[in-house]
Amino acid sequence: MIYLGVLLPPTILLKKLKFPSYKVWPHWVHKSICLALDIRVNKHGHALERSPTLFVSNHVSYLDIIILGHAIKGCFVAKRDMIDWPILGYLSTLQRTIFIEREKRSEVNSQRQEMQDRIRGGDSLILFPEGTTGTGGKILPFQSSLFGVTENYIHPMTDDEGRPLDLMVQPVSIVYKRINCMPTNRFNRPFVAWYGDMNIGVHFRKFLNLQNVEVEVHFHEPVSRNLFKTRKELSAYCQRTIEKKVEERLRRSDD
Protein backbone atom coordinates (compact mmCIF):
# COMPACT_ATOMS: atom_id res chain seq x y z
CA MET A 1 0.00 0.00 0.00
CA ILE A 2 2.94 2.34 0.66
CA TYR A 3 4.13 1.71 -2.89
CA LEU A 4 0.73 2.62 -4.29
CA GLY A 5 0.59 5.77 -2.18
CA VAL A 6 3.90 6.88 -3.66
CA LEU A 7 3.37 5.76 -7.27
CA LEU A 8 -0.28 6.54 -7.95
CA PRO A 9 -0.21 10.36 -7.64
CA PRO A 10 2.41 10.85 -10.41
CA THR A 11 0.64 8.23 -12.55
CA ILE A 12 -2.66 10.11 -12.30
CA LEU A 13 -0.97 13.47 -12.94
CA LEU A 14 1.02 12.27 -15.96
CA LYS A 15 -2.09 10.79 -17.54
CA LYS A 16 -4.25 13.84 -16.88
CA LEU A 17 -1.69 16.27 -18.29
CA LYS A 18 -0.70 13.85 -21.09
CA PHE A 19 3.02 14.23 -20.57
CA PRO A 20 5.12 12.34 -23.15
CA SER A 21 5.96 9.67 -20.54
CA TYR A 22 2.38 9.00 -19.41
CA LYS A 23 2.08 5.85 -21.55
CA VAL A 24 5.33 4.39 -20.18
CA TRP A 25 4.94 5.29 -16.50
CA PRO A 26 2.45 2.47 -15.67
CA HIS A 27 5.13 0.04 -16.87
CA TRP A 28 7.40 1.25 -14.05
CA VAL A 29 4.51 1.17 -11.58
CA HIS A 30 3.93 -2.53 -12.30
CA LYS A 31 7.65 -3.24 -12.06
CA SER A 32 7.75 -1.60 -8.62
CA ILE A 33 4.72 -3.59 -7.46
CA CYS A 34 6.42 -6.83 -8.55
CA LEU A 35 9.43 -5.87 -6.43
CA ALA A 36 7.21 -5.01 -3.46
CA LEU A 37 5.37 -8.35 -3.69
CA ASP A 38 8.62 -10.29 -4.32
CA ILE A 39 7.41 -11.54 -7.69
CA ARG A 40 10.58 -12.43 -9.56
CA VAL A 41 10.01 -12.07 -13.29
CA ASN A 42 12.44 -13.89 -15.56
CA LYS A 43 12.06 -12.75 -19.16
CA HIS A 44 13.09 -15.01 -22.04
CA GLY A 45 13.31 -13.33 -25.42
CA HIS A 46 12.20 -9.77 -26.05
CA ALA A 47 8.94 -7.94 -26.53
CA LEU A 48 8.66 -6.40 -29.97
CA GLU A 49 8.86 -2.64 -29.57
CA ARG A 50 9.72 -1.21 -32.98
CA SER A 51 6.04 -1.06 -34.01
CA PRO A 52 2.62 -1.43 -32.35
CA THR A 53 2.08 -5.13 -31.65
CA LEU A 54 -0.73 -7.42 -30.53
CA PHE A 55 0.64 -9.50 -27.66
CA VAL A 56 -1.27 -12.74 -27.02
CA SER A 57 -0.87 -14.53 -23.68
CA ASN A 58 -2.26 -17.36 -21.59
CA HIS A 59 -4.12 -16.26 -18.46
CA VAL A 60 -3.61 -17.71 -14.98
CA SER A 61 -4.29 -14.97 -12.45
CA TYR A 62 -4.95 -11.29 -11.80
CA LEU A 63 -1.21 -11.29 -11.08
CA ASP A 64 -0.65 -11.67 -14.84
CA ILE A 65 -1.66 -8.03 -15.21
CA ILE A 66 1.09 -6.85 -12.87
CA ILE A 67 3.64 -9.20 -14.43
CA LEU A 68 2.89 -8.39 -18.08
CA GLY A 69 2.46 -4.73 -17.20
CA HIS A 70 6.06 -4.93 -15.99
CA ALA A 71 7.35 -6.92 -18.98
CA ILE A 72 5.47 -5.15 -21.81
CA LYS A 73 4.84 -1.50 -22.63
CA GLY A 74 1.24 -1.86 -23.75
CA CYS A 75 -2.46 -1.59 -22.93
CA PHE A 76 -4.61 -4.52 -21.84
CA VAL A 77 -7.83 -5.70 -23.43
CA ALA A 78 -10.07 -6.89 -20.58
CA LYS A 79 -13.63 -7.75 -19.63
CA ARG A 80 -15.64 -4.74 -18.57
CA ASP A 81 -16.32 -6.19 -15.10
CA MET A 82 -12.60 -5.92 -14.31
CA ILE A 83 -13.11 -2.23 -13.72
CA ASP A 84 -14.84 -3.14 -10.42
CA TRP A 85 -11.88 -5.15 -9.09
CA PRO A 86 -10.26 -3.69 -5.94
CA ILE A 87 -7.08 -1.71 -6.71
CA LEU A 88 -6.33 -3.57 -9.97
CA GLY A 89 -9.48 -2.19 -11.53
CA TYR A 90 -8.34 1.36 -10.87
CA LEU A 91 -4.78 0.62 -11.95
CA SER A 92 -6.12 -0.77 -15.22
CA THR A 93 -7.91 2.49 -15.99
CA LEU A 94 -4.66 4.39 -15.45
CA GLN A 95 -2.97 2.04 -17.90
CA ARG A 96 -5.64 2.92 -20.48
CA THR A 97 -7.09 -0.60 -20.59
CA ILE A 98 -9.71 -1.24 -23.27
CA PHE A 99 -12.77 -2.74 -21.57
CA ILE A 100 -15.01 -4.90 -23.74
CA GLU A 101 -18.37 -6.65 -23.41
CA ARG A 102 -17.82 -10.03 -25.02
CA GLU A 103 -21.46 -11.05 -24.72
CA LYS A 104 -22.86 -7.98 -26.51
CA ARG A 105 -22.67 -8.69 -30.24
CA SER A 106 -24.04 -5.22 -30.94
CA GLU A 107 -20.78 -3.71 -29.66
CA VAL A 108 -18.38 -6.00 -31.54
CA ASN A 109 -17.74 -3.58 -34.41
CA SER A 110 -17.27 -0.53 -32.19
CA GLN A 111 -14.95 -2.43 -29.85
CA ARG A 112 -12.87 -3.71 -32.76
CA GLN A 113 -12.67 -0.18 -34.13
CA GLU A 114 -11.47 1.16 -30.77
CA MET A 115 -8.73 -1.46 -30.58
CA GLN A 116 -7.60 -0.80 -34.15
CA ASP A 117 -7.58 2.95 -33.51
CA ARG A 118 -5.35 2.38 -30.48
CA ILE A 119 -2.88 0.35 -32.56
CA ARG A 120 -2.86 2.95 -35.32
CA GLY A 121 -2.19 5.54 -32.64
CA GLY A 122 0.95 3.70 -31.58
CA ASP A 123 -0.30 1.53 -28.70
CA SER A 124 0.56 -2.14 -28.37
CA LEU A 125 -2.28 -4.30 -27.00
CA ILE A 126 -2.15 -7.27 -24.60
CA LEU A 127 -4.87 -9.88 -25.15
CA PHE A 128 -5.90 -12.95 -23.11
CA PRO A 129 -7.77 -15.07 -25.69
CA GLU A 130 -8.78 -17.79 -23.21
CA GLY A 131 -11.37 -15.27 -22.06
CA THR A 132 -10.91 -16.26 -18.42
CA THR A 133 -8.25 -17.49 -16.01
CA GLY A 134 -7.19 -21.12 -15.66
CA THR A 135 -5.32 -23.33 -13.21
CA GLY A 136 -1.91 -22.53 -14.65
CA GLY A 137 -1.25 -26.17 -15.49
CA LYS A 138 -3.33 -26.31 -18.64
CA ILE A 139 -4.24 -23.85 -21.39
CA LEU A 140 -7.95 -23.33 -22.01
CA PRO A 141 -9.26 -23.15 -25.61
CA PHE A 142 -8.59 -19.80 -27.26
CA GLN A 143 -11.61 -17.81 -28.42
CA SER A 144 -10.86 -16.88 -32.02
CA SER A 145 -13.50 -14.14 -31.92
CA LEU A 146 -11.13 -12.11 -29.73
CA PHE A 147 -8.74 -11.91 -32.67
CA GLY A 148 -11.31 -9.85 -34.55
CA VAL A 149 -9.11 -6.80 -33.99
CA THR A 150 -6.75 -8.20 -36.64
CA GLU A 151 -9.42 -8.40 -39.36
CA ASN A 152 -9.35 -5.82 -42.13
CA TYR A 153 -6.65 -3.90 -40.31
CA ILE A 154 -4.73 -1.36 -42.37
CA HIS A 155 -1.47 -0.12 -40.89
CA PRO A 156 -1.02 3.68 -41.05
CA MET A 157 2.68 3.31 -41.93
CA THR A 158 4.06 2.02 -45.24
CA ASP A 159 7.24 0.31 -46.39
CA ASP A 160 9.72 1.69 -48.92
CA GLU A 161 7.41 0.67 -51.76
CA GLY A 162 4.37 2.40 -50.29
CA ARG A 163 2.62 -0.77 -49.04
CA PRO A 164 1.00 -0.77 -45.57
CA LEU A 165 3.13 -2.49 -42.95
CA ASP A 166 1.87 -5.77 -41.51
CA LEU A 167 0.21 -5.99 -38.10
CA MET A 168 2.59 -8.04 -35.95
CA VAL A 169 1.35 -10.58 -33.40
CA GLN A 170 3.61 -11.93 -30.65
CA PRO A 171 2.60 -14.96 -28.54
CA VAL A 172 3.67 -14.83 -24.89
CA SER A 173 3.80 -17.73 -22.42
CA ILE A 174 3.43 -17.09 -18.68
CA VAL A 175 4.75 -19.89 -16.47
CA TYR A 176 4.53 -19.72 -12.67
CA LYS A 177 7.66 -21.73 -11.97
CA ARG A 178 8.30 -21.62 -8.21
CA ILE A 179 6.47 -20.66 -5.04
CA ASN A 180 8.51 -20.15 -1.86
CA CYS A 181 11.53 -21.51 -3.79
CA MET A 182 9.72 -24.80 -4.49
CA PRO A 183 8.63 -25.98 -7.97
CA THR A 184 4.94 -25.39 -8.65
CA ASN A 185 2.59 -28.34 -8.83
CA ARG A 186 -1.15 -28.95 -8.73
CA PHE A 187 -1.15 -28.62 -4.94
CA ASN A 188 0.58 -25.26 -4.49
CA ARG A 189 -0.32 -23.61 -7.82
CA PRO A 190 -3.72 -22.40 -6.51
CA PHE A 191 -1.79 -19.99 -4.26
CA VAL A 192 -1.10 -17.95 -7.41
CA ALA A 193 -3.69 -19.19 -9.91
CA TRP A 194 -7.07 -17.50 -9.51
CA TYR A 195 -9.98 -19.22 -11.21
CA GLY A 196 -13.50 -20.52 -10.83
CA ASP A 197 -15.42 -19.00 -7.93
CA MET A 198 -12.35 -18.04 -5.87
CA ASN A 199 -12.87 -14.81 -3.92
CA ILE A 200 -10.26 -12.32 -5.12
CA GLY A 201 -9.90 -10.64 -1.70
CA VAL A 202 -9.38 -13.90 0.19
CA HIS A 203 -7.04 -15.19 -2.51
CA PHE A 204 -4.90 -12.06 -2.46
CA ARG A 205 -4.59 -12.10 1.35
CA LYS A 206 -3.30 -15.67 1.16
CA PHE A 207 -0.94 -14.68 -1.63
CA LEU A 208 0.55 -11.96 0.59
CA ASN A 209 1.63 -14.68 3.04
CA LEU A 210 3.92 -16.24 0.43
CA GLN A 211 7.64 -15.54 0.67
CA ASN A 212 8.31 -15.24 -3.06
CA VAL A 213 7.07 -16.28 -6.47
CA GLU A 214 9.17 -16.93 -9.58
CA VAL A 215 7.52 -16.40 -12.95
CA GLU A 216 8.85 -16.94 -16.45
CA VAL A 217 7.64 -14.77 -19.33
CA HIS A 218 8.57 -16.27 -22.70
CA PHE A 219 8.37 -14.01 -25.75
CA HIS A 220 7.94 -16.08 -28.89
CA GLU A 221 8.86 -15.06 -32.42
CA PRO A 222 6.54 -12.31 -33.70
CA VAL A 223 4.50 -13.24 -36.76
CA SER A 224 2.66 -11.21 -39.37
CA ARG A 225 -1.14 -11.38 -39.32
CA ASN A 226 -0.96 -11.70 -43.10
CA LEU A 227 0.59 -15.17 -42.81
CA PHE A 228 -2.80 -16.54 -41.76
CA LYS A 229 -5.91 -16.76 -43.92
CA THR A 230 -8.36 -16.42 -41.04
CA ARG A 231 -8.42 -15.34 -37.42
CA LYS A 232 -9.09 -18.99 -36.48
CA GLU A 233 -5.78 -20.02 -38.01
CA LEU A 234 -4.00 -17.24 -36.12
CA SER A 235 -5.74 -18.20 -32.88
CA ALA A 236 -4.81 -21.88 -33.30
CA TYR A 237 -1.19 -20.99 -34.03
CA CYS A 238 -0.90 -18.79 -30.94
CA GLN A 239 -2.48 -21.44 -28.73
CA ARG A 240 -0.13 -24.18 -29.98
CA THR A 241 2.91 -21.97 -29.51
CA ILE A 242 2.00 -20.85 -25.99
CA GLU A 243 0.77 -24.27 -24.88
CA LYS A 244 3.93 -26.05 -26.03
CA LYS A 245 6.18 -23.74 -24.01
CA VAL A 246 4.01 -23.88 -20.86
CA GLU A 247 3.93 -27.68 -20.91
CA GLU A 248 7.67 -27.88 -21.55
CA ARG A 249 8.58 -25.54 -18.70
CA LEU A 250 6.20 -27.13 -16.18
CA ARG A 251 7.70 -30.56 -16.90
CA ARG A 252 11.13 -29.26 -15.95
CA SER A 253 11.53 -28.76 -12.21
CA ASP A 254 15.34 -28.83 -12.17
CA ASP A 255 15.93 -25.25 -13.28
The 10s digit of each residue's pLDDT in 34-66 is 988 999 999 999 999 878 899 999 999 999 998
- 25 compared with 2, residue with greater pLDDT: 25
State the pTM of this model: 0.86
Count other C-beta atoms under 10 Å from residue 195's C-beta.
16
The answer to which of 53-57, 81-85, 216-220, 245-249 has the lowest mean pLDDT is: 81-85
Task: Quote the pLDDT of residue 93.
Answer: 67
| Nearest CA-CA partner of 156 in 167, 170, 169 | 167
pLDDT-based confidence at residue 24 (cuts at 50, 70, 90) = low
pLDDT, average across residues 191-196: 94
Task: Quote the pLDDT of residue 14.
Answer: 46
C-alpha span between 173 and 67 (Å, rounded): 12
**3-state DSSP call for residue 246?**
helix
